[in-house]
Amino acid sequence: MATILEVKNLDQHFPILGGILRRVKGYVFALNKINLKVEEGETLGVVGESGCGKSTLAKAIVRLNRPSAGDVYLNGKEISRLEGEDLKVARRQIQMIFQDPYGSLNPRKTVESILAEPLKLHRMVSTKADIKKSVIDLMKLVGLPADNINRFPHEFSGGQRQRIGIARALALRPKVVIADEPVSALDVSIQSQILNLLNDLKKELGLTYIFIAHDLAVVKYIADRIAVMYLGNIVELRKSSDLFDAPLHPYTQALLKSIPAPNPHKRGNLQVLEGDVPSPKRPPAGCAFSTRCLYATQTCHKEKPPLEDISGEAAGKIACFNYKSLTETKGA
């Protein structure tokens, strides 16, 4: 499989301005040296708690934010510093589905004008009749009845609105779709409808997904590989099944054990991770997780562990000084 998207040493630091002169007082370190590769046709899940930088990563990739440093390659072409027409062309290939199906659609536009907008802006189709035909095709693709074409967003349920959001993202026939918490605002009985739709569309259109979520069961269901983020860093990146069977990073382990399973026979197994996530304005000097980690050593507090390759059966990447000794002591 070919690499379709590559992120290299991506930084996103937001300045904090203060005082009368609006001088830079400090930075929010939202993303720190993020490296990842997305293969064509795969679904990469990104998980982590709020404020860990999941959405910032998505926005930096599609250039809703300008990254502070680093490169983003789409099909081998650097896109993080493109402007004007070049950026527009690149964006055709990479589109985004947003979390909030209520806030992400313009309430004053009909479904037709919402879905026609990207087609017009990118001059994908020219005549009015063609635009209408494309819009109807898109609606059919996501399972919306075509006779709803003149309705406004408020006339739809949350699940249907999310279908409109998905149709809009697919209007330009993108290669890569970034879905930022696409089901977390939906009711449980609707979530599964949308997840099935996303899976069907992926097969039908040969899409590549970056799927951001905090619900691990959802990510496990949909993703091939999973990146776990903590305080602006990727701490573990491995195949979905490996990650869930044998998480290596202490944070991933704690995360998996803090979610109650929908099975009363397994109750009482929650492991409580003490403390709060540190502020991204003053991240710890060493490993970002060192303040809450049960296994942190002197080195962890002083130095930042690099994201290293793991070879062998449990292949993937991990940023932890101690994971080897941890797995050994557990095995013994």
Partner 1 sequence: MTNKHLLKINNFTLSFKSNRGKFIALEEINLGLDSGKTLALVGESGCGKSITALSVLGLLPENAATVEKGEIFFRGDNLLNYHKNDLRKIRGNRIAMIFQEPMTALNPVYTIGDQVAEAYRIHKGFSRRKSLDLAVEMLDKVKIPDPGSRINEYPFQLSGGMRQRVLIAIALACQPDLLIADEPTTALDVTIQAQILKLIGDLQKEMGTAVIFITHDLGLVAEMADSVAIMYAGRIIEEGGVYDIFDHPKHPYTQGLLTSIPKIDTPKGGKLATIKGIVPSIYNRHAGCMFYDRCPKGQNACFTRPKAPEPFSGKHEAACHFVDV
Does 299 bind partner 1 (CB under 8 A)? Our answer is no
Q: Which residue bears the tokens 């997840």?
A: 195
Q: Which residue bears the tokens 């536009």?
A: 109
Strand pairing of 94-97 and 176-180? parallel
String of DSSP letters for 8-45: EEEEEEEEEEETTTTEEEEEEEEEEEEEEEEETT-EEE
Output 129 or 188, the one with its CB closest to partner 1.
Answer: 188
Q: How far is the CB of 116 from partner 1 (least distance, A)?
A: 26
Residue 94: enclosing H or E segment and its boundaries? strand 94-97
Output 90 or 218, the one with its CB closest to partner 1.
Answer: 218
Does 258 bind partner 1 (CB under 8 A)? Our answer is yes
CA–CA separation, 272 and 292 (whole Å): 11
Does 127 bind partner 1 (CB under 8 A)? Our answer is no
CA–CA separation, 300 and 304 (whole Å): 7
Q: Which residues make Cβ contacts (< 8 Å) with residue 42, sequence separation at least 6?
A: 1, 208, 209, 224, 225
Does 19 bind partner 1 (CB under 8 A)? Our answer is no
Which of 241, 299, 325, 329 contacts partner 1 by CB under 8 A? 241
Does 154 bind partner 1 (CB under 8 A)? Our answer is no
Q: How far is the CB of 157 from partner 1 (least distance, A)?
A: 5
What is the per-residue binding string for partner 1 in 29-68, x denoting contact by CB under 8 A?
Answer: --------------------xx------------------
* Nearest by Cα to 229 from 70, 37, 34: 34
Strand pairing of 316-318 and 176-180? unpaired
Which of 27, 152, 244, 295 contacts partner 1 by CB under 8 A? 244
User: Which residue type, as a one-letter code, is found at position 308?
Assistant: E
Q: How far is the CB of 189 from partner 1 (least distance, A)?
A: 4
Does 204 bind partner 1 (CB under 8 A)? Our answer is no
- Give me the residues that bind partner 1 (CB under 8 A), please: 49-50, 157, 159-160, 187-193, 195-196, 199, 214, 216-218, 220-224, 240-241, 244, 254-255, 258-268, 270-274, 276-277
